[in-house]
Copies of this chain bind each other. A is one copy, B any other.
């Protein structure tokens, strides 16, 4: 996208100061800049860069008063951060890079493909699958039998959606995500080997869910593993069979949720957290990175930390003593000796 300062100012509801004909084709950070880029000054801490930046256009607030000469054309707006958000959307809204049904894709004649769907090279859409309007299936994606993909959902290269799983509308699944692999369930046998438990359930991903690269969501033994509306999962996360993640919960990278655990709505969960199976986690729970949740959490809206996790503040206090444990140990030994000496003296 190539756009003039004038056109951008119009789009953002701002006013131009400088050359309205200068064009930009990308956003930049103010300290990096570069000709042809548009940068912004949101926090006056970075003001010094405004005078040295090589960005062609600078987005500033209405009341910004330069104290030195500037080379960039200014666009003044009311809300700098709001305008930056609009800007990123604008520059990011490039074409998907895939359009129409590639003749190198395999789309089963028994699949149903709505209008405006794109299917990339070497992608597979199996029999009984349904792709909603304007769904984007990037190259090398696998869509199993009877899978449903909602309208406008985007599947990046290498995504695998196995048989019978359902993905909602306006979802984004990043590269190499796996949805619907078998859960990890085995019945111990008398000879101490394990017998696989067949998984006949599926995975349901509701609307407006984003799932990060390489994340795996296992299918249910029976019934469904469910990722509710608006959930955001980062990369390399493991979601076990029959798990349910409540609406608008966000989970950072490399966290794992063991089988049958139900996580509430509006939770905020750090990276590398582990959840035991069969637990229930209350709405609005916040969990620090690397914590281990070994049991259900019933009180909503509380913060937790540690492995196994305890209330956040308790952990912070306990950990501050943990660091001093060698001192504490020595103090106790010293006191014991002093006491013993006093006792002995008392007896003498």
Contact = CB atoms under 8 A, between A and B. Distances in A.
A126 B145 CA distance: 27
B235 A184 contact: yes
Nearest to A270: B274
Q: How many chain copies does the complex carry?
A: 3
A114 B248 CA distance: 47
A326 B336 contact: no
A319 B27 CA distance: 48
Interface string A232-273: 101110101000000010101110101000000010000110
A342 B345 CA distance: 12
Interface in A206-252: 208, 210, 212-214, 216, 218, 221-223, 230, 232, 234-236, 238, 240, 248, 250, 252
A333 B122 CA distance: 70
Query: Most chain-B CB neighbours within 10 Å: which of A93, A160, A314?
Result: A160
A7 interface: no
A85 B122 contact: no
Contact of A124 (B91, B122, B176, B192): B122
Nearest to A265: B192
A220 to B, nearest CB: 9
Interface of A: 26-29, 32, 85, 88-89, 91-93, 97, 104, 106, 120-122, 124, 126, 138-140, 142, 144-145, 156-158, 160, 162-163, 172, 174-176, 178, 181-182, 184, 186-187, 192-200, 208, 210, 212-214, 216, 218, 221-223, 230, 232, 234-236, 238, 240, 248, 250, 252-254, 256, 258, 266, 271-272, 274, 276, 289-290, 292, 307-308, 310, 314, 317-326, 328-329, 331-332, 335-336, 338-339, 342-343, 346
